[in-house]
């Protein structure tokens, strides 16, 4: 088996509030082997981005990791110095965000920012950095890379900006790419091109991918295994084929039923989205966090947080209503 690259155990992330600390992430566990592609899905506010930021030691202040561990290639993030963390970012783990304009600086050229990313981790002469920049832009499918070096992010289309962002993220050859909604801001055709690019880079570089999205369609086509998150917790984890073929948690089944084009949808019918929304961390119900939106909830669901347990081979779910059959 390929070596484990990332391990997250019982991650808890809190933000202070007037009512005391609120947990945006309450219990996330995850393991990723080298070269593997894993998806994290869930509705808005369930803690996907906070989880992603934790993997790079980038939880925004005054938030903090209040429990659990994140281990990258055997190294516990909590034990690393600020300098070691900076070194890990880019070299071991690269990150791509939804909106490149927030992470690309609008006042510097593409070439300048790419060269910065390259030279943070390795000393390079100006000329060598320029050559690498052109190669990288070519690798992410940007035509006429020499001329694009002089462009400012604002002069590029959304799709090109996202390609530049990916070039920055892979500049130092990370073995894991964390992509948080990498295509949400793009139209469907460009979305497909960016996902194809990420797939190609993965294969060519043997890079692992953690794809964070609320789009189950993207998950279906691009990852081998999926974690479903709800209210800061993993509620289901399985192979992508099992997620679509045999979803176990009522939340996952609700998400799938809300997809356009599934068998329960007829033209002209409204999407069967799950009524309600992910609760704010201050209003998560006791017991199973999903029980107030769950059509299958019973009194026992209020008794405690259900454990995430194996219900089928390689298939875990956090629901007392699902019988184990392993
Ligand atoms: N800087 C912050 N300060 C306080 N609370 C925060 C902060 N960032 C996130 N949160 C809270 O943490 C919870 C999870 O947020 P997160 O951004 O991880 O959700 P998400 O799953 O990425 O949602 P989306 O799909 O909208 O991107 C939310 O309730 C949010 O309000
Ligand atoms: Mg997010």
Residue 55 is part of a domain; what is its CATH number? 3.40.50.300
> Mean pLDDT, to the nearest integer, of 27-46?
96
Q: How far is the CA of 186 from the centre of ligand 1 (A)?
A: 21
The CA distance from 293 to 322, in Å, is 16
**Ligand 2 mean position, distance from CA 223 (Å):** 18
- Residue 269 counted as domain residue: yes
User: Among 76-80, 121-125, 278-282, 316-320, which is the least confidently predicted range?
Assistant: 121-125
Digit-coded pLDDT (tens) for 285-309:
999 999 999 999 999 999 999 999 9
Closest ligand relative to 53 C-alpha: 1
| Omega before 147 within 30 of 0, i.e. cis | no
Average confidence score pLDDT of the chain:
92
Residues measured by CB to lie within 5 Å of ligand 2, the ion = 48-49
- When pLDDT is averaged across residues 2-15 and rounded to a whole number, the result is 94
The pLDDT of residue 182 is above 60: yes
Structure tokens at 73: 């290639």
Is residue 222 one of the residues assigned to a domain? yes
pLDDT digits (tens, 9 = 90+) for 106-136: 999 999 999 999 998 888 999 999 999 999 9
Phi, psi of 110 (to 5 degrees): -55, -45
Our count of domains for the chain comes to 1
Rounded CA gap, 128 and 135, in Å?
11
Distance CA 248, CA 243 (A): 8
Given the CA of residue 281, which atom of ligand 1 is nearest to it?
29
**Best substitution site from 45, 102, 182, 185 to test ligand 1's pocket, by max atoms within 8 Å of Cβ?**
45
CA distance linking residue 202 with residue 154, whole number of Å: 28
Q: Quick check: pTM over 0.85?
A: yes
Does pLDDT of 310 surpass 80?
yes
Q: How far apart are CA 316 and CA 320, in angstroms?
A: 12
**What is residue 258's predicted lDDT score, i.e. its pLDDT?**
81
Q: What are phi and psi of 32, to 5 degrees?
A: -135, 130
Indicate whether 147 belongs to any domain: no
What's the rounded mean pLDDT across residues 307-323? 97
Whether the per-residue pLDDT at 55 is higher than 80: the answer is: yes
Would you say residue 173 has pLDDT above 90? Answer: yes
Task: Report the distance separating Cα 46 and Cα 250, nearest Å.
Answer: 16
| Residue 34, pLDDT above cutoff 90 | yes
Q: Which domain holds residue 245?
A: 4-92+174-317
Sign of the CA dihedral 145, 151, 156, 161?
Answer: positive
Residue 285 lies in a domain: yes
Q: Is residue 140 part of a domain?
A: no
Contact between 284 and 231 (Cβ < 8 Å):
yes
Three-state DSSP at 230 gives: strand
User: pLDDT value at position 269?
Assistant: 53
Q: Does the pLDDT of residue 262 top 60, yes or no?
A: no
168 domain residue, yes or no: no
Residue 198 lies in a domain: yes
Which of 181-185, 203-207, 319-323 is least confident? 181-185
CB-based contacts of 104, cutoff 8 Å, min separation 6: 110, 113, 153, 161, 164, 165, 168
Note whether residue 29 is domain-resident: yes
**265, pLDDT greater than 50:** no
Give the gyration radius of the chain's Cα atoms. Answer: 21
From 41, 47, 54, 233, mutation site for ligand 1 pocket: most ligand atoms within 8 A of C-beta: 47
In this structure, are residues 252 and 239 in contact, taking their beta carbons and an 8 Å threshold?
A: no
Pocket test residue of 14, 21, 49 for ligand 1, highest count of atoms within 8 A of CB: 49
DSSP tally for the chain: helices H, then strands E: 11, 12
Kindly tell me if the per-residue pLDDT of 184 is higher than 90: no
C-alpha 34/C-alpha 96 separation (Å) is 18
Under the banding of pLDDT at 50, 70 and 90, the label for residue 17 is very high
Q: What is the mean pLDDT of residues 254-280?
A: 72
């Amino acid at each position: 088996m390929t070596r484990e690259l990332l391990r997250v155990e019982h991650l808890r992330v809190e933000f202070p509030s007037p009512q005391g600390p609120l947990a945006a992430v309450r219990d996330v566990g995850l393991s990723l082997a080298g070269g593997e592609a894993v998806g994290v899905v869930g509705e808005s506010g369930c803690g996907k981005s906070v989880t992603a930021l934790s993997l790079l030691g980038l939880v925004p202040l005054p938030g903090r990791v209040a429990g659990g561990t994140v281990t990258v290639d055997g190294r516990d993030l909590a034990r690393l110095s600020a300098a070691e963390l900076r070194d890990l970012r880019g070299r071991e783990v690269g990150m791509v965000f939804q909106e490149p304009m927030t992470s690309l600086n609008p006042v510097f050229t593409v070439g300048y920012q790419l060269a910065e990313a390259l030279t943070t981790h390795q000393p390079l002469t100006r000329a060598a950095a320029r050559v690498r920049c052109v190669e990288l832009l070519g690798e992410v499918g940007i035509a006429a890379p020499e001329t694009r070096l002089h462009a400012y992010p604002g002069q590029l289309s959304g799709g090109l900006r996202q390609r530049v962002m990916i070039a920055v993220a892979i500049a130092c050859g990370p073995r894991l790419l964390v992509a948080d909604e990498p295509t949400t801001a793009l139209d469907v055709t460009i979305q497909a091109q960016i996902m194809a690019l990420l797939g190609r880079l993965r294969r060519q570089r043997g890079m692992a991918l953690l794809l964070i999205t609320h789009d189950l369609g993207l998950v279906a086509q691009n990852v081998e295994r999926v974690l479903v998150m709800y209210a800061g917790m993993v509620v289901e984890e399985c192979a992508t084929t099992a997620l679509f073929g045999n979803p176990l948690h009522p939340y996952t089944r609700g998400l799938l039923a809300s997809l356009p084009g599934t068998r329960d949808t007829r033209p002209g019918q409204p999407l069967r989205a799950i009524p309600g929304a992910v609760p704010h961390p201050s209003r998560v119900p006791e017991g199973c966090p999903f029980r107030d939106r769950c059509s299958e909830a019973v009194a026992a669901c209020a008794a405690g947080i259900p454990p995430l347990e194996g219900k089928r081979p390689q298939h875990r779910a956090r629901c007392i209503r699902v019988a184990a059959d392993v």
